[in-house]
Amino acid sequence: MSKNDIIQMFYTTSSSFTAERIFLVLCLALAVSMVIFLTYRFTYRGVSYSSSFNVSNVLILLTAVVIMIMISSNIVISLGMVGALSIVRFRTAIKDPRDTAFIFWSIIEGLSIGSQNFRLALVSTIFIAIVAFLFSGHVTLYKRYLIILRGEGLQLKDVEALFAGRRYQVRTVTTAGDSTEMIIQLAGAKTIDPALLEALNQLPGIQNVNWLLETGEALG
């Protein structure tokens, strides 16, 4: 191979990516991105679902596909893309670590489709989606609640008597003069117990009762 052949190899653009093939690749990428979109939507268990973030997963995947098509079509372009992308800095704060996983999922599937590893992209998308659905179910099968009691002259023994036979834990008891605040963690209840809620509201000196679902990231 001569010097001119090597130089020509760097500046040759691959002709395998016709307009029709690029369109088909992007359509497949869109189908895969919709699987990620729906998986995030139906497995989200937080209190503030962000549709804009979910849409961004679709756009990230499509963008990654375009980048891979550019990189695989020409060596010079690939070197330029590495330099260009290396100066990009993302400053957006990710509130939920799970969101980061979906961003990486979108990027990886986009790279797979862009490099024309279609079988890898389809199998991995289906497998990861199934795993995401399976692990999202533990939130609905096992719930924990925080019950916050505020009042004057509340007695811990009276409160604990109402939780007899239940899986509970007294998290904190705060007193300031006659005012008392208690936080009770109740586990295993699938829904709010109306009978227990009514009994708590009948406690001597009770002022208010807050019954909150504990998700691990936020209360709601």
CB atoms within 10 A of CB 198: 10
Rounded distance, CA 37 to CA 51, Å?
9
Domain range for 126: 3-141
pTM over 0.85: no
Query: Hey, is 148 helix, strand or coil?
Result: strand
Contact present, 62 and 110 (Cβ < 8 Å): yes
The domain tally of the chain equals 2
Contact present, 114 and 25 (Cβ < 8 Å): yes
Residue range 103-139, pLDDT digits in tens: 888 888 888 888 788 888 889 999 999 988 887 765 5
- If you average pLDDT over every residue of the chain, what do you get? 78
Q: What is the largest CA-CA distance in the chain?
A: 94
Q: Are residues 91 and 177 in the same domain?
A: no
Query: Hey, is 16 helix, strand or coil?
Result: coil
Q: Which residues of the chain, if any, have pLDDT below 70? A: 1-17, 46-47, 73-94, 96, 137-142, 189-190, 215-220
Q: Are residues 96 and 110 in the same domain?
A: yes
Q: Are residues 188 and 103 in the same domain?
A: no
